[in-house]
C-alpha cells in the first residue's frame, strides 16, 4: 500500500491502435482488500486497460504505481512476479494437455538436481488436488482440457489466477459461462481473497452481479473514464446511464411479430448418451420466438447441436413444414435453411487471424460467387458494411482482424454471419452473452424483425429477463428433459425457476 492507501494507481494511461484511441487518459485508484468493478459498453476499453496492467500491451503514455512504486511491465511474467494475475476474457488453455499441466505451465515442480532434473508429476498432482479442494472445484487434474465443459475450463482459469498468490487479481468476465453453483463458489473465493487483503478488479456486463459483489465501480465510455463510484450509491439505471451516456428506459423493443403455421416439429428426440437429453418434443411456428430456459447443465446446447447435426441422436423425428427430414451433419441442416449461433465463439466460432469481413461472409460464400466462378467483391463489401452498421460493430475497418475486436463485438460479427445465410430457422445459443445493454437492444430488435419476416427463432438463454422479454413461448429443461412449455404472457421468473430445478 502507498501513503494514500492504494495498492494500485493507474495514472493517465493512454493507448491507441491503428484508427482507434482505445484508452484516453485513464486514471483510477484501487484500494487493497476490495472488489473494484470495471464497466462499460463493448469496445469501451476495459480489456485493453487490463492488458496494460498485465504487461500484454505497453501503454503509449501514463504510468502504473504498484504499492507506491512505479512499474513498467513489458511481459506478463513481469506483472506476475510483481503480484498481478489475470483471468482472460477468452479461454486460453491448451486443449491437448492435462488440467494440471495447464495449471502449472511454465512452472512445473521439479525433482532431482543439475542435469538430472525431472518434472515431479506426483507433486504436481498433489498441489492441484490441494488447490482444487481449497477452491471447492470438482475437476480431475489428469484429464485433457479439451474434455472439459466451457464452464469447467473457465473454473480452471480462475484456479490458475488464484494459484499465483497475487496481490491483485484481474477477472475479465469470469462468470460468462459458469453455472449458478460455480458463480456462488467464485463469489465465496472472491470474498475470502478480499478478506486476505487481495484487490480484485472485476469486469462483467451483468449489472446485478456487479452490485452484489463490488465495493467500487469505475465506468469507461469510448476509452474515457466516466467516473468511479461507491457501489452502495449506484442503481441499475444509474449504471446504464453512465455507461451509455443517456437513459435507456426500455430494455426490450416492442414485440409485434405474429406467429403463424408450425414450421419445425421435434418429436421424442433422444441422445445416445444416458446423461444427455431424452424424449424432447416441441414445435416452433413461423414468426415465433421460442425461448429455451434452464440452468447450465440442462442439456440445452446438446439438444440444439443435435438438431443442427453436430451430435448424433438415438431416436426421435424432426419435421420441417410437415415433412420428416434427416439431419446428420451441419451441411444437411444448412440445406434445410437452418443456422446455429454457437455459445463458445473461441472454440467453434471465430477464425482469429482472418478479417472481420471474411469471418462475416464465411458461412455463405456461395452468395458471393458469380456464374463464371468470379467473386462478387461488391456484394460482399455491401453486405459487410450493412451488418457492421446494423449491429454497430465497433471497428475502424472491415479489413481488421477479428481477434482485434473487443469480445462483445466479435459476438456481433458471428451473429451477422448467420443472418447473412438468410435462414428460415435460426437457432441462437446465448446470443447476447458478453454483449452490453444497448447492443443487446439492437440484437433483440433484429430478432423480432426476423420473426416478423416469418422466420422461426429458437433462443437458448440463461438470462431470465431476456427470455421473458422477447419469447412468445418458453420451453424449460432440467437434466435433459422438458419440464414445461409456458406461454410468454403467463411466464414469470418464479415459474421458470421452479421448472428449471424440477429434478433437484
Ligand X SMILES: Nc1ncnc2c1ncn2[C@@H]1O[C@H](COP(=O)(O)OP(=O)(O)OP(=O)(O)O)[C@@H](O)[C@H]1O
The order of strands in the sheet holding 280-285 is 280-285, 262-270, 315-320, 323-325
Give the residue with the Cβ less far from ligand X, 342 or 409. 409
In angstroms, rounded to a whole number, what is the distance separating the alpha carbons of residues 429 and 343? 5
Based on the shown chain and the rule CB under 5 A, indicate whether residue 294 belongs to the binding site for Mg ion: no
Look at the alpha carbons of 412, 415, 419, 421 in this order and tell me if their dihedral is positive or negative: positive
Is 461:482 a contact under the CB 8 Å cutoff?
no
**221, three cell numbers:** 465510455
Backbone angles phi, psi at 147, to 5 degrees: -80, -10
Based on the shown chain and the rule CB under 6 A, indicate whether residue 503 belongs to the binding site for ligand X: no
Q: Give the residue, chosen from 47, 177, 204, 462, that forms a contact with Mg ion under the rule CB under 5 A.
A: 47
Region of 416 please: left (phi>0), alpha (psi -120 to 50) or beta.
Answer: alpha
Based on the shown chain and the rule CB under 6 A, indicate whether residue 349 belongs to the binding site for ligand X: no
Based on the shown chain and the rule CB under 6 A, indicate whether residue 407 belongs to the binding site for ligand X: yes
Based on the shown chain and the rule CB under 5 A, indicate whether residue 407 belongs to the binding site for Mg ion: yes
Q: Which residues, at least 6 apart from 51, have a Cβ–Cβ distance to it below 8 Å?
A: 57
Residue whose Cβ sits closest to Mg ion: 47
Stretch that binds ligand X, among 60-68, 174-182, 232-240, 398-406 (CB under 6 A): 398-406
Q: Give the residue, chosen from 20, 86, 213, 313, that forms a contact with ligand X under the rule CB under 6 A.
A: 20
Stretch that binds Mg ion, among 88-96, 184-192, 234-242, 376-384 (CB under 5 A): 88-96
Based on the shown chain and the rule CB under 6 A, indicate whether residue 47 belongs to the binding site for ligand X: yes
Based on the shown chain and the rule CB under 5 A, indicate whether residue 380 belongs to the binding site for Mg ion: no
Nearest approach, Cβ of 282 to ligand X (angstroms)? 33
Based on the shown chain and the rule CB under 6 A, indicate whether residue 102 belongs to the binding site for ligand X: no
CA distances from 416 to 13, 197, 256 (A): 34, 44, 22
CA distances from 389 to 352, 382, 386 (A): 21, 11, 5
Stretch that binds ligand X, among 37-45, 248-256, 361-369, 491-499 (CB under 6 A): 37-45
Based on the shown chain and the rule CB under 6 A, indicate whether residue 55 belongs to the binding site for ligand X: no
Nearest approach, Cβ of 406 to ligand X (angstroms)? 3
**Strand, coil or helix: 101:** helix
Is 380:357 a contact under the CB 8 Å cutoff?
yes
Binding-site partner at residue 44 among ligand X, Mg ion, none, CB < 5 to 8 Å by type = ligand X
**Strand, coil or helix: 326:** coil
The order of strands in the sheet holding 199-203 is 84-87, 168-172, 199-203, 35-39, 216-221, 224-230
Site for ligand X in 159-218 (CB under 6 A): none
How many CB atoms lie under 10 A from the CB of residue 495? 16
Site for ligand X in 408-447 (CB under 6 A): 408-409
Nearest approach, Cβ of 27 to ligand X (angstroms)? 17
CA distances from 80 to 52, 53, 55, 58, 332 (A): 13, 10, 9, 15, 48
Q: Give the residue, chosen from 35, 44, 53, 482, that forms a contact with ligand X under the rule CB under 6 A.
A: 44
Q: Which residues, at least 6 apart from 482, have a Cβ–Cβ distance to it below 8 Å?
A: 279, 280, 281, 282, 475, 476
Stretch that binds ligand X, among 119-127, 363-371, 372-380, 400-408 (CB under 6 A): 400-408
Site for ligand X in 307-346 (CB under 6 A): none
Based on the shown chain and the rule CB under 5 A, indicate whether residue 223 belongs to the binding site for Mg ion: no
Based on the shown chain and the rule CB under 5 A, indicate whether residue 480 belongs to the binding site for Mg ion: no
Stretch that binds ligand X, among 341-349, 382-390, 399-407, 474-482 (CB under 6 A): 399-407
Give the residue with the Cβ less far from ligand X, 45 or 174. 45
Based on the shown chain and the rule CB under 5 A, indicate whether residue 434 belongs to the binding site for Mg ion: no
Nearest approach, Cβ of 45 to Mg ion (angstroms)? 9
Nearest approach, Cβ of 15 to ligand X (angstroms)? 8
Surface-to-core class of residue 126, CB atoms within 10 Å of its CB (0-12 exposed, 13-18 middle, 19+ buried)? middle
Q: Give the residue, chosen from 71, 215, 404, 463, that forms a contact with ligand X under the rule CB under 6 A.
A: 404
How many CB atoms lie under 10 A from the CB of residue 233? 8
**CA of residue 156 relative to chain centroid, distance:** 16
Q: Give the residue, chosen from 29, 34, 42, 151, that forms a contact with ligand X under the rule CB under 6 A.
A: 42
How many residues lie near ligand X (CB under 6 A)? 20
Applying CB under 5 A, the residues found at the interface with Mg ion are 47, 89, 406-407
Applying CB under 6 A, the residues found at the interface with ligand X are 17, 20, 22, 40, 42-48, 89, 394-395, 404-409
Amino acid at each position: 500500500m502507498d501513503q494514500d492507501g492504494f495498492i494500485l494507481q493507474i495514472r493517465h494511461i493512454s493507448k491507441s491502435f491503428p484508427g482507434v484511441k482505445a484508452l484516453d487518459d485513464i486514471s483510477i485508484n484501487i484500494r487493497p482488500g476490495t472488489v473494484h468493478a470495471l464497466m462499460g459498453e463493448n469496445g469501451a476499453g476495459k480489456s485493453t486497460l487490463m492488458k496494460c496492467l498485465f504487461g500484454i500491451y505497453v501503454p503509449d503514455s501514463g504510468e502504473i504505481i504498484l504499492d507506491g512504486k512505479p512499474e513498467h511491465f513489458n511481459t506478463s511474467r513481469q506483472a506476475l512476479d510483481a503480484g498481478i494475475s489475470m483471468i482472460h476474457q477468452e479461454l486460453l488453455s491448451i486443449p491437448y494437455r492435462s488440467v494440471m499441466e495447464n495449471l502449472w505451465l511454465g512452472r512445473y515442480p521439479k525433482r532431482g538436481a543439475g542435469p538430472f532434473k525431472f518434472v515431479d508429476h506426483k507433486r504436481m498432482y498433489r498441489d492441484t488436488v490441494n488447490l482444487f479442494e481449497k477452491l471447492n472445484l470438482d475437476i480431475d487434474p489428469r484429464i485433457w482440457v479439451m474434455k472439459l465443459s466451457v464452464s469447467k475450463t473457465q473454473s480452471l482459469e480462475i484456479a490458475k489466477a488464484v494459484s499465483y498468490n497475487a496481490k491483485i487479481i484481474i477477472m475479465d468476465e469470469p462468470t460468462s459461462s459458469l453455472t449458478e453453483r460455480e458463480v456462488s463458489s467464485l463469489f465465496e473465493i472472491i470474498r475470502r481473497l478480499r478478506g486476505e487483503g487481495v484487490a480484485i478488479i472485476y469486469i462483467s456486463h451483468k449489472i446485478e452481479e456487479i452490485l452484489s459483489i463490488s465495493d467500487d465501480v469505475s465506468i469507461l465510455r469510448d476509452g474515457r473514464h466516466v467516473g468511479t463510484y461507491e457501489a452502495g450509491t449506484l442503481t441499475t439505471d444509474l449504471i446504464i446511464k453512465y455507461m451509455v451516456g443517456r437513459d435507456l428506459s426500455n430494455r426490450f423493443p416492442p414485440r409485434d411479430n405474429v406467429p403463424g403455421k408450425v414450421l419445425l416439429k421435434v418429436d421424442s428426440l433422444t441422445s445416445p448418451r444416458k446423461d444427455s437429453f431424452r424424449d424432447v418434443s416441441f414445435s416452433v411456428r413461423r414468426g415465433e420466438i421460442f425461448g429455451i430456459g434452464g440452468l447450465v447443465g440442462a442439456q440445452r446446447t446438446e439438444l440444439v447441436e443435435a438438431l443442427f447435426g453436430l451430435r448424433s441422436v438415438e431416436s426421435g423425428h424432426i419435421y420441417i413444414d410437415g415433412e420428416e427430414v434427416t439431419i446428420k451433419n451441419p451441411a444437411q441442416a444448412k440445406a434445410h435453411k437452418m443456422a446455429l449461433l454457437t455459445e463458445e465463439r473461441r472454440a467453434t466460432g471465430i477464425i482469429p487471424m482472418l478479417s472481420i469481413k471474411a469471418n462475416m461472409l464465411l458461412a455463405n460464400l456461395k452468395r458471393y460467387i458469380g456464374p463464371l466462378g468470379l467473386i462478387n467483391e461488391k456484394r460482399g463489401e455491401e453486405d459487410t458494411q450493412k451488418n457492421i452498421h446494423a449491429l454497430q460493430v465497433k471497428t475502424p475497418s472491415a479489413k481488421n482482424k477479428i481477434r482485434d475486436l473487443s469480445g462483445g463485438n466479435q459476438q456481433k460479427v458471428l451473429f451477422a454471419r448467420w443472418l447473412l445465410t438468410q435462414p428460415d430457422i435460426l437457432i441462437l445459443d446465448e446470443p447476447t452473452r458478453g454483449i452490453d445493454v444497448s447492443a443487446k437492444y439492437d440484437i433483440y430488435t433484429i430478432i423480432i424483425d426476423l420473426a416478423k419476416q416469418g422466420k422461426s427463432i429458437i433462443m437458448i438463454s440463461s438470462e431470465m429477463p431476456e427470455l421473458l422479454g422477447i419469447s412468445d413461448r418458453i420451453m424449460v429443461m432440467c437434466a435433459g428433459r422438458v419440464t414445461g412449455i409456458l406461454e410468454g404472457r403467463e411466464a414469470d421468473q418464479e415459474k421458470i425457476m421452479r421448472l428449471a430445478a424440477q429434478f433437484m
